[in-house]
Each structure stands twice: as structure tokens, then as C-alpha cells.
Amino acid sequence: MDRKSVSYFVAGLLVGLLLATTGFALVVRQQNLARSQGGQIVLKLGHGLDQGHPVHAAMVFMSERLREKSAGTVELQIFPNGQLGSETECIEQLQRGALAMTKTSAAPMESFVPEMAIFGIPYAFRDGDHCWRVLDGTIGKQLLASGQGVGLHGLCYYDAGSRSFYTIDRAILVPDDLRGLKIRVQQSKTAMDMVEALGGSPTPIPWGELYTALQQRMVDGAENNPPSFWSNRHFEVCKHLSLNEHTIVPDILVISQKIWDNLPPHVQVWVQESADESSLYQRRLWEEGTQRALETVEQEGVTVHRPDRRPFIDRVQPMHDRYEGTPLGDLLARIKKVE
């Protein structure tokens, strides 16, 4: 073979290899596209609740609805009981795109999204119905979208009821009953300010350590909703539940903005629709669970008190006044105008 023939042969070989490589790459891209369009997408959701919690049941419902809408091509895998980390750790994983979704209380979210501090302001909502009118409306949707700049895309809210005080051996009937008491709160500045405004001593303690802290009287009480008071067996130590209902702090289902942006538009629709349906489903479960929890703890020897809320509302009014002229104060004013 002469030099010219060798040159033609090598050139032909190179062209052939290039075409083969290009063709292979095209096939790979087509296969990846087929997998995406075919919806072979797995979304992992981590949260800290147990499998008997109404919110977990709602996320299982969401998984089923997502499977139905996608004809089995999109799978939502749920990891409860803090398997993938604490609420804050899961939020940070979402920001990196290392985890698709998490369920978090609005309280830890305020460290990432300042607007979420609105839920920690006591008596920001007149009652539960008023709260859901706000969350289902424009304000609620704007709050869900407010974390997009830090990589957090809100999908929906889950009902976590009203938070009230429960104590070991003293009923909280008026704010002055909190004086001298150490009350466990979430790691939230707003929550700590609230307990201080009411006269108590706020003491942040991780949720998983609270039962022991109560048992050993490291704190005199805590504040949460009735189902959590019951399901975590805090009623075994605290014999007074005072339904002053100072805050309504919802749970929020959040997806990583990075992962959301990479989902095909039709999958985004399926995810959002399934989340919205799970929210409505969970609210019914929560209402039933709250009534069942109150009945059960009373049977276990807890005295359930229903104090007049007005003295508590009046006591925290200076907190509301301090927010005037701030973005949070403007948001609070908008909420109060919702009928």
C-alpha cells in the first residue's frame, strides 16, 4: 500500500471512528432522554417523623398518587425517622441537590428563609381557619416560593395544628403562670422571644432529647400540638395540657430547586398535583388525630385546660408592635387583613 493509500485509509478510519463515537453518544443521549420522558425518575424524601404520623401517611399518599399519575414511571422513596439526617441537615442536602425532598417545620426554615419567621409570631393568625385561608391564598404561595433563591422550592403545607403549653405539675391558665418555668422551645429566635414575652424561660432542646429532659426536670414543660404531645408520650411526665394555642406552625414539603429545575415540565406538574392532594388528605387525618390525642391523654390522667386566649394575646402585643416598619411587620399586616 503506497503512502497515499495509507493516508486515505487512516483518514477513513478516523472518520469511521468519529461517526461511530458520535452515533454512540447520540444513542446514549436518546436513552437518557427516553428514561427521563419515560419517567424512570427516583425522588428521595427524608424526614424525622415516625411512620404512624399523619404527615408520613400523607407523603405515602403522595407517593401513590405520583405513581398513578406517571403510570409507575416516577417513584417517590420515603425515609422516615431521621434516617437521612435532622431537619436542618436535610434542608442543607436539598440546597446541594444531594436529596430531592424533605418535610420540615416552618421554624427551622426561618434560618434559611427569613420570611418563615412569620409562623413563630404568636397569634399571627386568628384561628386555624384563618391560617388556612392565608396559606391557600396568595400569601401562602409567595411564602412557598420565597426560598428559591437559596435552593429551596416549597411544594405544599401540612397541618401541624396549634402549639400550646404542657407542663409537669402546673397548669398554664394565664401568662403569669409561666414565670419561673423553663419551657423547651425549638431552635427559633421567634419562639424564644415569645416565651420570654409571656414570662417563661425559653430552653432550646433537640426534640429527640425532650422526653428525658422532662423526666429529669431539666425543663418544666414544653409547647407543641396535641398529637405530638401524645405520640411522643410526653403525657407520661406532663399532667397539664393548656390549650392557649399561641402559634400555628405548619410543616412544609420542600424540594431541591436544583432537582426541580431538572425535572421535565410534565413531571413537575405531576409532583405539584400529588403534593397538593396529599395536603388536603393530611388535613383530614390531622383533625381526626387531634381529637383522638386529646381523648387519649385525658384517659391517661392529663388535665386538658382551655384558658381564655385574650390575656396571652394582650401580653405578646409588644412583639407585634416591634415588627412595625419591617418586612415581617408588613407581612403580618397583610395576614391580619385576610378575611
> Does a structural domain hold residue 231?
yes
pLDDT of residue 6: 38
pLDDT of residue 261: 97
> Does a structural domain hold residue 154?
no
Q: How far apart are CA 236 and CA 167, in angstroms?
A: 11
Share of the chain above pLDDT 90, in %: 79
> Does a structural domain hold residue 301?
yes
pLDDT of residue 2: 47
**CB crowding 93-129: b at 16 or more within 10 Å, else e:** bbbeeebbbbbbbbbbbbebbebbbbbbbbbbbbebe
Most confident of 2-6, 27-31, 76-80: 76-80
Q: Which sign does the torsion angle of CA 90, 95, 96, 98 carry?
A: positive
Residue 66 has pLDDT above 50, yes or no: yes
Which carries the bigger pLDDT value, residue 207 or residue 184? 184
> Does a structural domain hold residue 298?
yes
Compute the mean pLDDT over every residue in the chain, rounded to the nearest whole number: 88
pLDDT of residue 186: 83
Q: What is the pLDDT of residues 188-225, one digit of tens each?
A: 788 899 999 999 999 999 888 999 999 999 999 999 99
Residue 194 lies in domain: 162-249+293-337
Q: What is the pLDDT of residues 74-128, one digit of tens each?
A: 999 999 999 999 899 999 999 999 999 999 988 889 889 999 999 989 999 999 9
Residue 182 has pLDDT above 70, yes or no: yes
> Does a structural domain hold residue 137?
no
> Does a structural domain hold residue 77?
no
Least confident range from 15-29, 199-213, 229-243, 284-298: namely 15-29
What does R_g of the chain's alpha carbons equal in angstroms?
Answer: 26
Give me the CATH number covering residue 180: 3.40.190.170
Which carries the bigger pLDDT value, residue 188 or residue 9? 188
pLDDT of residue 231: 87
Instruction: Give the type of residue at 300.
Output: E
Q: What is the pLDDT of residues 165-181, one digit of tens each?
A: 999 999 999 999 999 99
> Does a structural domain hold residue 234?
yes
> Does a structural domain hold residue 283?
no
Phi/psi of residue 240, each to 5°? -135, 125
How many domains is the chain partitioned into structurally? 1
Residue 17 has pLDDT above 70, yes or no: no
pTM over 0.75: yes
